[in-house]
A and B are shown apart, each in its own frame.
Chain A
Amino acid sequence: MSSSVTTEKDTNLKSQAGKKRSQWGEVWRRLKKNHMAMIGLIIMIILILLAVFANQIADYEEVAIKQNTANRLQGPSRENWLGTDNFGRDIFARIIHGGRISLMVGVVAVGIAVLIGGTLGAIAGFYGGRVDNLIMRAMDIFLAIPSILLAIAIVTALGANLFNLMLAIGISSIPGYARIVRASVLTVKDQEFIEAARAIGASDFRIITKHIIPNALAPVIVQGTLGVATAILSTAGLSFIGLGVPKPRPEWGSMLSDGRTYLWEASHITTFPGLAIVITILALNLLGDGLRDALDPRLKQ
C-alpha cells in the first residue's frame, strides 16, 4: 500500500522533472548516453575524491615525504600498493598527493586563462573594429611563442614554486581562450535572437549577460576540460625538467624524472606516475569530447 503511494509520487516527480528539463538537463541526458564520456567522468570523480581526501588516505608528512632508505625500490606489496621509490617513500601516497597538485594547477591555470582570455576575447568579439584588432594581434604575438617555452620563461623569471607554476601555465594559454571566446561571441552576436533582444529594448549589458554569454559558453566548457589536461601535462613537463614544484613535494612529472635513473632495476617507480598522467589525460579527453558532442546539437538547433 504505502509502497504504491511512493511510486506514484515518484513518477509524478519524474514527469515534472522531465518537463522542466532545462538546456543543461538535456546536455546531461546526452552525456549520460555516451559511455566513453561517462568513464572519463567517473575516473575524474575518483581522482578528485582521492585528491581531496589525500590526507585521510595517506599522511603527507609520514608517508609521502619522510624518507625510509631501508625500504627503497620495493616492488608493489600489501604495505606499499604501488611499491616504494628510491628514498623508500610509498608511491601510491605520492601519486595521490601529487594528483592534488596536478589537479589544482590544472584547474587554477585554466581558471586564470579562461578569466583573462575569455574577457579579452569577449570584448574583442562584441565590440569588433579597432579594439578587436588590437587585442587579437597581441594574442597572435603571444601565440607565436610555443606555450611551453613561454611557461618556462615565466617560471625561470619568477622562480619555481607552485603559485608561479599556475601563473605561468595559465598565462601561456590565455591566447587560446581569447580566440575561442571571440569566435563564439562572434557567432552568437550575429544571430537573430540578439537582434530580437535589441528590438524589445534590451540594453547592451543585458544582451551580453543574458543572451550572449550563456550561448557562448559551450565551446569554452569543452576547451576548458581539455585545457585542464594540457595544463596537467605542462606541469608534469615543467617538473620533469626541474621547473615545477620544488622537492620533496610529490608531483607526477618530477616523480617520473626521479625514477628514470632506476628504469631498469625498478621500472614501477616511473610506470605508476606515468600511468597516473596517462589515465588523467585520457579521462579528461574522453569527458571533453563527450561534452563537445553533448553540447553541439544544442548549438546546431
Chain B
Amino acid sequence: MSDNILEIKDLVVHYITDEGVVEAVNGLNMTLKRGETLGLVGETGAGKTTTALSILRLVPNPPGKIISGEIHFDGENLLELSEEEMRSIRGNKISMIFQDPMTSLNPVMTVGEQIAEGIEIHQGLSTDEAMEKAHEMLELVGIPRERAIDYPHQFSGGMKQRVVIAIALACNPSLLIADEPTTALDVTIQAQVLELMRNLREEFNTAMILITHDLGIVAETCDKVAVMYAGEVIEYATLEQLFENPKHPYTIGLFGSIPSLEHDVERLKPIKGLMPDPTNLPSGCPFHPRCSHAQDICKERKPIVTNIEEGHMVKCLIYEGVIEAKEVL
C-alpha cells in the first residue's frame, strides 16, 4: 500500500455554459500522504472548490464535467468507480465540510438526526445505535449530548460548524476536505473551530485538504501547501519551504512583498490585475499578463514542473532556466 492517500493526475474539469467553456481545472497534479494536512490556497475562481468537488465526484453536472485525469484514492481511481461505489465512499472514507455552516445544515432535521444520517447510511446500524453514536460525536466536538434534539436555528454559527465537523468525522474518514471552513465565522470562533479540527484530525489521523484564502491559517494548520492559479497547482511545497523560500512570482505576490537586492526591502503592491477570464485563459503561462517577470516567451511556452528541491515544485519558466528573473527571487 502506498503511503499516498490521494494522488491527482492531470485533472481537467470544465463547466460548459452558454457563455462559453469555463476551464476551471487545467491539468492539476497533487499528492497527499496519509494523515497529512494540505493547504490549498489561491484567489477566488482559481478552481479550489471545483478540485474538491471532483474528488467526491460531486461537480454539478450539468454544467460541470470532469474531462480527463485520474484521482487515486487509497490506490483506487475514483473516476472509474460506479455511482453506487462512490456513494459508499462519500461521507465514509472521504468527507467534506462546506464553507457556510448556516446553509450546510438541513433546517428541518435535528442536529442529532443529521449526524446520525451518515452513520446509518454507512455502518448499517439501527436508528437508535446511530443516534447514540451521534451523541458521542456531539460531545467530541464540545456540544452537550442533550442538544441533539435541537434544530440548527437554535445554534450559533460556531456551534453549527462544530455540528458540521461532527457530521464529517462521524464515520472516521481517512480524508477530510474542508472548503474554507471558517470564513463565515468571526475571528475568535475561527480560532476555536480550527483548534478543534486540528485536535480531532490528529486524534483520528485523518488526512486533510484545507481550502483557504488565509495564509495565516495555512501557517498554523498545514504540513504541505499547494498554490493554485487558473486551475493549476503552480507551486507545491512543505510549509517551511513555501514560507521561507517561495519561488513562483504569484506565490511571492501572495505574500504581499518581494524582497529586492537593489532597494533594501521594497514593499510591493498586492498582485496587480485580476484573475484571467476562465473562459478565455491566456496562452503560455496563465500568469503572464500579471507577472512582473514575464517575457515574450511566457506568452507562448507553457511552463512545466520544475523540482527546486525534494518536495518543492514550481511551474515557471524562470526555474526551467528559459528566462532570467528581473530581480533575484
Q: Which A residues form the contact surface with B (CB < 8 A)?
A: 19-20, 22-23, 129, 191-193, 195-203, 206, 210-211, 214-215, 298, 301
Complex Cα spacing A89 to B86, Å = 71
9 A–B contacts from the bound complex (CB under 8 Å): A19-B149, A23-B107, A193-B103, A198-B56, A198-B90, A199-B98, A200-B91, A200-B118, A211-B106
Q: Write out the residue numbers on chain A whose beta carbons fall within 8 Å of the beta carbon of B106.
A: 193, 197, 210-211, 215
B109 at the interface (CB under 8 A from A): yes
B91 touches A195 (CB 8 A): no
Which residues of chain A are near B98, meaning CB under 8 Å? Answer: 192, 195-196, 199
> Quick check: B108 and A192 within 8 Å, CB to CB?
no
- How far is it, in angstroms, between the C-alpha of A201 and the C-alpha of B93 when the chains are bound? 10
In the complex, whether B132 has a CB less than 8 A from a CB of chain A is no
B92 touches A215 (CB 8 A): no
A270 CB, min distance to chain B CBs, angstroms: 46
The total of interchain contacts (Cβ-Cβ below 8 angstroms) comes to: 78
Q: Are A200 and B121 in contact (CB under 8 A)?
A: yes
Q: Which 10 A-B pairs have the closest CB atoms?
A: A200-B91, A200-B118, A201-B90, A201-B91, A192-B103, A192-B104, A199-B96, A196-B104, A201-B87, A193-B106
Interface core residue of A23, A129, A199, A215 (most chain B CB under 10 Å): A199
B151, A201: Cβ atoms closer than 8 Å: no
Given contacts A198-B58, A200-B117, A210-B109, contact A193 B104 (CB under 8 A): yes
The interface size of chain B toward A, counting residues with CB under 8 Å, comes to 33
Residues of chain A within 8 A (CB-CB) of B146 are: 19
Q: A202-B87, A202-B91, A210-B109 are in contact. List 5 more A-B contacts (CB 8 A).
A: A196-B104, A199-B96, A200-B121, A211-B109, A215-B108
Find out whether the CB atom of B149 lies under 8 angstroms from the CB atom of A23.
no
Residue in contact with B58 in the complex, picked from A199, A215, A301, CB distance below 8 Å: A199
| Binary per-residue interface labels of chain B (43-58) against chain A in the complex, 1 for a CB within 8 Å, 0 otherwise | 0000000000000101
Residues in chain B near residue A206, CB distance under 8 A: 121
B89 touches A201 (CB 8 A): yes
A-chain residues with CB within 8 Å of residue B104 when the two chains form the complex: 192-193, 195-196
A146 → B minimal CB distance (Å): 35
User: Quick check: B153 and A201 within 8 Å, CB to CB?
Assistant: no
Q: Is the CB of B58 within 8 A of A200?
A: no
> CB of B105 within 8 A of chain A?
yes
Q: Give the distance in Å from the alpha carbon of A294 to the alpha carbon of B199 in the complex.
A: 41
Contacting residues, chain B, for A197 (C-beta < 8 A): 106, 117
Which residue of chain B has the shortest Cβ distance to A198 in the bound complex?
B58
Q: A195 to B53, alpha carbons, bound, how many Å?
A: 10
Instruction: Determine whether B95 belongs to the interface, using a CB cutoff of 8 Å to chain A.
Output: yes
Tell me which residues across on chain B come within 8 A of A198, comparing CB atoms. Answer: 56, 58, 90
Determine whether the beta carbon of B90 is less than 8 Å from that of A193: no
B296 to chain A, nearest CB (A): 44
- Closest chain B residue to A217 by CB distance? B108
Contacts of A22 in B (CB 8 A): 151
CB <8 Å contact, B92 and A201 = yes
Task: Find B149's partner among A20, A203, A211 (CB 8 Å cutoff).
Answer: A20
A82 to B290, alpha carbons, bound, how many Å?
Answer: 86
A215 closest partner in B (C-beta): B108
B320 at the binding interface (Cβ < 8 Å): no
Pick from A129, A203, A298: contact of B107, CB below 8 A. A298
- List B residues 86-128 near A (Cβ within 8 Å): 87-92, 95-96, 98-100, 103-109, 117-118, 121-122
Tell me which of B104, B106, B117, B168 has the highest count of chain A C-beta atoms within 10 A of its own C-beta: B106
